[in-house]
Amino acid sequence: MKYLKTFFVPAAASLLFLAASCAKEQFAGSADTLADSEYTAVTLTAGFDTSVRTAVDAEGKVSWKAGDIIRYYSESGGTVGSATVGQDCAVAEFEATVAQNASFLVAACGGESLTGNTSGEVFSLEGAVCARQSGRFTDAHVAVARTEDPEAGVLTFRNLTALVKFTLERSDVALISFSSNDQTLLHGDGVLNVTFSGGNPQASFGGSGGNSIEVSTSGAGTFFISSLPGTLGEGFTISCYDSGGKLLGEASTRKALVLKQGTITNLGTIDGRISTPAPDYDPDLSRSGTANCYIIPVGGEYFFDASVKGSSTEPVEGTPAGAKVLWESSVSGSAPSAGDIITGVGYSQGKISFTATGSDGNAVIALTDASGAVLWSWHIWCCKGYRPDECLQTYFKNAGVVMDRNLGAVSAVPGEAGALGLLYQWGRKDPFPGGYCATAPASLPSPVESDASTGTIAYSVANPTVFITCNEDNFNWLTKSDNTLWQDSGSPKGIYDPCPAGYRVPDGGGSGLWAKVLGTAAWTAKGCWDLNMKGINFGTNDKPLGPDKVIWYPAAGYINSTVGALNNVGYSGSYWSSTVDEDGSCCFNISPYFSSSTSYVQPTQTYDRAYAMSVRCVKE
């Protein structure tokens, strides 16, 4: 789901799709062996009426024939309107505003947010290849055609993406993830430019994207994936999940695979190549160390040590009697019901146990005494398939090895709401829901102003869901500053550090994570701010943080320090460091420069500690 981006779902058009079959399986033999590729061109046919010329009346109604422009889309409900091309060559009419006397015809199918734009010989589509697809052939392509003969009866459409075809015979698979092993982009949220040379369309893909496409399979059948053309130099991996998000197995090859524009690559039946996974999770979350946050990659039953504070050996104070969920959140667009993310929470013999449903989201679990008072609390970060050590990004100049996403984010895909993550007041271990987080209960308690009773560490621990605003005499949520809550890398990890075991809040300031690569001065650069996705890809801009193609920093906004309101989602992104600066703390800040594609980056900005902002954890 994109955020702060206006888009429409394209309107329906009836086309007759014809695709020749592929006789050979490209995914044959062992997991590291692929047979010779066999490709089949994709062609489509459509009837039209040659007795009329294009007419656009005052209301925008269009009648068409060969040689004139028409735009087709595969889904219903879009603002372009709807058109039906009859098998008997009836006239197609639809409500739209189109350029007259255009020289080509376009049929665009698939994509999450297709928007059409014509100018001379160029047709642009935003969101041409999406990260999540249905597996149906009818929406697994982007095809175009140009009319050369006004009297022609058949239009030949050329597919501009690469199609991957596979068959499943087992019925327990609900989702397939198709990934390149070398981070080659498979989907793109940028712009697809189509030009015509000698009647044949040529496509160039730009913008950012990702190296994994999810396809809903819903059991046995034959399915299609629409992909950006390219060479997968290190091969690919197919991961299979059940309806609860549990990994059922994987099929992988390291042999290079070429995905060609306008062709179908047939992987054949993949059941026999799907390996049975090793135990896919350790139920003891604290086995490798205690922390204030635990990552849940798959659904299942878990437990962790609830006897100590964070990553320390300091015992939790009070007499534990039980455990409860304080809140749950998702980015699905609607608030989760209680138990949608985690359920079955309990406490026994110094351990908290619970069951993760396998759904993406976040939750906070509290250890309580007999009266229900909170003694300590933990952030449960449920992110399907996410194992951070497998997705780390190494920044230049030995600055650090960093997570590929914000703390609490369920996605690292540019533009997705799930990439925003959660927000933290400096020095506190417990998160607050960020942009596009729908929570259960629907709202958290109202903010309180910092004073002698509320502006204390003890109050923050006992009230992890309460946002503490600063008062007019103090720009901190604490009435008395404490610089040791989050520690720099030269000291042991702070008790209140919100990052999972093995990770910590990064150093900031002049010698911190971002300044080591980008320098200490604020800078502006054209083309860095992504107006559509609302953020910066520091993998491809003029000052990259590291060698990865996508290092995405979204504009997740912040919670205001004075009133506790969420602000600037999609406009700015502020990332805490552990480094203090007098009564404030250092952070990394990004924003557009005068609402343009020019970015404004501040590697060493300082903010009041009562703000709640994003955290990007670094490997210890």
Considering the domain architecture, whether residues 408 and 311 belong to the same structural domain is answered as yes
String of b and e for 403-437 (b: at least 16 CB within 10 Å)? bbbbbbbbbbbbbbbbbbbbbbbbbbbbbbbbbbb
The answer to whether 403 touches 386, Cβ cutoff 8 Å, is no
Helix (H, G, I), strand (E, B) or coil at 110: coil
DSSP bridge pairs for 83: 13
State the Cα–Cα distance between residues 158 and 42, nearest whole angstrom: 7
CA atoms within 13 A on the CB side of 530: 33
Q: How many CB atoms lie within 10 A of CB 235?
A: 18
What is the β-pairing status of strands 105-107 and 71-72?
Answer: parallel
Q: What is the pLDDT of residues 379-389, one digit of tens each?
A: 999 998 899 99
What tokens does 497 get?
């550090």
In a domain, 2, yes or no: no
Does residue 398 form part of some domain? yes
Given 273, 307, 330, the domain boundary residue is 273
Say yes or no: 112 and 260 in one domain: yes
CB 431 within 8 A of CB 407: yes
- In 80-228, at which residue ranges do the beta strands (DSSP E only) sit? 83-84, 93-95, 105-107, 116-119, 122-126, 132-133, 143-145, 158-159, 162-168, 175-180, 187-188, 191-197, 200-205, 209-210, 212-216, 221-227
Count CB atoms within 10 A of the CB of residue 129: 30
CA distance 23 to 268: 9
User: Tell me: the pLDDT tens digits for 302-339?
Assistant: 999 999 999 999 999 999 999 999 999 998 777 888 88
Residue 407 lies in a domain: yes
285 in any annotated domain: no
pLDDT at 151: 41
Tell me, yes or no, whether 140 and 41 share the same domain: yes
Is there a single domain that holds both residue 591 and residue 448?
Answer: yes
Percent of the chain with pLDDT over 90: 50
d(CA 539, CA 553): 10
Q: Are residues 132 and 235 in the same domain?
A: yes
Cα 11 to Cα 26: distance, rounded to the nearest angstrom: 35
- Answer yes or no: do 149 and 89 share one domain: yes
Rounded CA gap, 57 and 75, in Å?
25
User: What does the pLDDT look like over 524-544, one tens digit per residue?
Assistant: 877 788 888 999 999 988 889
pLDDT for 141? 57
What local confidence, expressed as pLDDT, does residue 443 receive? 83
CA distances from 75 to 9, 83, 127, 531, 585 (A): 6, 11, 14, 25, 49
- Which of 273, 302, 320 represents a domain boundary (last residue)? 273
Q: What letter would DSSP give residue 514?
A: H
Contacts of 352 (CB under 8 A, 6+ apart): 303, 304, 306, 323, 345, 346, 365, 367, 378
What residues contact residue 564 under an 8 Å CB cut-off, 6+ apart?
446, 447, 467, 469
Is residue 129 a contact partner of residue 206, using CB atoms and an 8 Å limit?
Answer: no
C-alpha 140: how far from its chain's center?
20
Phi, psi (rounded to 5 degrees) for 2: -85, 155
Contact 237, 250 (CB under 8 A): yes
User: How many domains does one find in the chain?
Assistant: 2
Contact 318, 458 (CB under 8 A): no
Q: With a cut of 90, say whether residue 154 has pLDDT above it.
A: no
- Report pLDDT for 553: 97
Distance of CA 299 to the CA centre of its chain: 19
Instruction: Determine the Cα angle at 604 with ends 602 and 608, to 5°.
Output: 100
Plot region of 211 (φ>0 → left; ψ -120 to 50 → alpha; else → beta): alpha
Average pLDDT, the chain: 78
**CA nearest neighbour of 343 among 333, 334, 354:** 354
pLDDT at 349 over 80: yes
pTM of the shown model: 0.61
What percent of the chain stands above pLDDT 70? 72
Same domain assignment for residues 53 and 131:
yes
The verdict on 205 and 132 lying in the same domain is yes
Task: Give the end of a domain, one of 240, 273, 306.
Answer: 273
Q: Residue 106 is encoded by which pair of tokens?
A: 């376009």
Is 421 part of any domain? Answer: yes
Spatial strand order of the sheet with 573-581 comes to 523-525, 599-607, 584-592, 573-581
**Region of poorest pLDDT, from 362-376, 421-435, 565-579, 596-610:** 596-610
Per-residue pLDDT at 532: 85
Count of beta carbons in the 10 Å neighbourhood of residue 267: 24
The token pair that represents 326 in the structure block: 């304080």
227 shares its domain with 342: no
- 414/24 Cα distance (integer angstroms): 36
223 with 369, same domain?
no
Residue 541 tokens, joined: 């801009």
Question: What pLDDT band is residue 66 in, cutting at 50, 70 and 90?
Answer: very low
Pair (260, 310) in one structural domain: no
Residues 518, 546: Cα–Cα separation, whole Å = 11
Q: What is the pLDDT of residue 200?
A: 58
Q: Cα–Cα distance between 267 and 571 in angstroms, integer?
A: 43
**Would 1 be classed as within a structural domain?**
no
- In terms of residue numbers, what domain contains 266? 13-273
pLDDT higher than threshold 70 for residue 95? no
Q: What phi, psi does 221 have (nearest 5°)?
A: 150, -175
The CB-side HSE value for 558 (13 A sphere, CA atoms) comes to: 24
- Kindly state whether residue 8 falls inside one of the protein's structural domains: no
Q: How many CB atoms lie within 10 A of CB 219?
A: 12
Look at the block and give the residue holding tokens 């327990």. 172
Q: Tell whether 284 is covered by a domain.
A: no
- The 10s digit of each residue's pLDDT in 476-509 is 999 999 999 999 999 999 999 999 999 999 999 9
Least confident of 121-130, 342-351, 568-577, 608-617: 121-130
Question: Are 214 and 310 contained in the same domain?
Answer: no
Bridge-based pairing of strands 618-619 and 503-504 is: antiparallel
In this predicted structure, the answer to whether residue 72 has a pLDDT above a threshold of 60 is: no
Here the tokens at position 473 are 């005499």
Nearest to 608 by CA among 558, 553, 536: 558
